[in-house]
Amino acid sequence: MNRDELMTMYDFSGKTFAVTGGCGALGGDVVVTLVQCGANVMILDCNLVRLATIKESLGPRGSQIEGFQADVMSRDSLAAAGEAINERFGPLYGLVNAAGGNSPRATVSPDMSFFDIPEEGMRFVLDLNLLGTIMPCQILAKQMVETGEGVILNYSSMNAFRPLTNIAAYSASKAGITNFTAWLAVHLAQNYSGRIRVNAIAPGFFIGEQNRFLLIDKDTGGWTPRGQKVIDHTPMGRFGVPEDLLGTVLWLLSPAASFVTGITVPVDGGFSAYAGV
């Protein structure tokens, strides 16, 4: 394979992607990178406050981005998003399910034991992560079935491999995403088209709004005991930054991974490889 053929694999010109949670820290970088590779991208997010900033950062290429306020836990909202994607950019080729998160309402703490976590808190985290991944696939991937090709990338987590203390609902929901990714990959390939691929990434420890309170001491700005444990167990000795995900994301979305489906790839600085001794 020559250089031109290699570069072509990462040229998404004319292809349409949807990114749920595309205004978030991790999803936003994926949006920008896809646009820089030529793609048209519809951001699906419940909060589009960063949309203008993302578009401006891309200059003239900002016209390749549109935003739609969508709730990944609502079929009606996702159906409306699907129509908006078709009207603005045409048939969907790729879906990146980056929406998700945790909540203090579903987290064990000195003020709340596991036995006291309210049902509402548990349901919110389980629905946001698991249903918020399954339902976009149900509604939006129909367009891929119609065209006979496409790629889906789900966001699992290191919690799917090694459930962490205190965040039962989040860990369980991410494990569900890993399992669902494998199931959907087989289902689509066997029943519809071998040219529709489904994979996932499992980010290690990235600091975001949903876990900041667990990792950074709000008074000192230093690591919490939990944050220090993560650093100690990560051979690379640091937390991830959004850019660390982009190489794996692009590979899984591109023709370079045309024979790869049903897997979850850790991007974790070696956390899952390290036994602690």
For 215, 216, 232, the CA distances from 225, given in Å and listed in that order, are 8, 9, 11
The answer for residues whose C-beta is within 8 angstroms of residue 183's C-beta and 6 or more apart is none
Residue 170 annotated among the catalytic residues of the structure: yes
For 35, 38, 96, 173, 235, the CA distances from 14, given in Å and listed in that order, are 10, 7, 17, 34, 40
**Any idea which residue has 């290429």 for tokens?**
61
93, 155, 170, 274: which is the annotated catalytic residue? 170
**Residue 215 DSSP label:** H
Phi, psi of 153 (to 5 degrees): -125, 120
Whole-number Å distance between alpha carbons of 18 and 40: 9
Instruction: Could you list the beta-strand ranges (E) of 149-242.
Output: 150-155, 196-203
- Residue 83 in contact with residue 68, Cβ under 8 Å? no
> Which amino acids are annotated catalytic?
170
